[in-house]
Amino acid sequence: MNFTIKTFGWRNQTLDQISRIDQGLQAIGCFFVDESPDIVYSNNDMYDDILEYAQNQKKKPFIILNVLDLQIGNPNYNLAKVKEQLSKADAITCISETVQKQIKDELNLNAIVIYNPTKDISYDSRVDRSIPFLYVGRANDARKRFSLIKEVFQNHPQINKALAVCGSENPNFGIYTGVLADQDLDLLYNSCKFLLLPSSFEGLGLPMIEAMLGGAIPITCSDNPTAIELCPNEFICDPNPKSFMAKLVEINKDYSRFQKISLEYAEKYKILMNKNTVAEKIINIYKQSLC
């Protein structure tokens, strides 16, 4: 049976998640409509928009609200309002067990984990690992903790030629590439040895997963719960410069062995975070409601 759906989410071609989810939904046979869909789905906190839309439909759609993360500690983030909005959903989903726990602890609501899809990154053994270090993300976001990278390499001025920084924010450190198209980012993941992910918190941390898909090794921190959830323990260090550098040195001494671990994890995530898999899990929630 094919279902009709309308999706909501922030769209920016190279940066957004919802476009990949749409591609997955289309691939499994869903039809996108503007009026009277079976399902409405929002991939971020555009909950006012989706709830108003659902209320104005002649036939009530099945409402799925997805949570990327609860911004605990952000004075501009209204947890009470978010709880009220989520309570109006027929199903709440979220992008990791970490966020699932947030929702339960902070809002006393239950959510279903459906990981967001990765970009189409694939390992190419023919590409030379010519870039020692890569950072992907919003470098100036305090929770991303890019400052730790600066501390790790403060006595190594050559880092400015050895670190590529990809994303919407320029930290004025390393070689800044800006936002890259998916094909260029694929090549970058395949060209780097290490992805540096010092974040204190990630709702999911897709660069960590995409790095493994490209055969690189992500270095993450032990106080980041999604790193504990999704990253090999061998790639996790304490969130301080000494531990971070020691982990880089340890792995670099036997890079091939550690890269094999990375690629083994990647095989699992190729399926779990494939856009078609994600789309099927979204639709299965609706199917189960019909039983």
- Banded model confidence at residue 13, pLDDT cuts 50, 70, 90: low
* Sheet architecture: strand order including 236-237: 175-178, 163-166, 131-136, 192-197, 217-221, 236-237
pLDDT at 222: 98
pLDDT value at residue 76: 86
Residue 219 confidence (pLDDT) above 90 = yes
Q: For 231-282, write each residue's pLDDT tens digit.
A: 999 999 999 999 999 999 999 999 999 999 999 999 999 999 999 999 999 9
DSSP strands (E only) in the chain: 4-8, 31-32, 39-42, 62-67, 91-94, 112-113, 131-136, 163-166, 175-178, 192-197, 217-221, 236-237
| 0.75 surpassed by pTM | yes
pLDDT of amino acid 125: 95
Task: Supply the mean pLDDT for the chain.
Answer: 95
Read off the pLDDT of each residue in 14-20 and give the average, rounded to a whole number: 84
Which CATH number is associated with domain 4-117+274-290? 3.40.50.2000
Q: Summarize pLDDT for 165-198 with one digit per residue, the tens.
A: 999 999 999 999 999 999 999 999 999 999 999 9
Domain ranges of the chain: 4-117+274-290, 131-272
d(C-alpha 244, C-alpha 238), whole Å: 7
DSSP letter (8 states) at residue 12: -
Q: 131-272 — its CATH code?
A: 3.40.50.2000
Spatial neighbors of 97 by CB under 8 A, at least 6 apart, are 113, 229
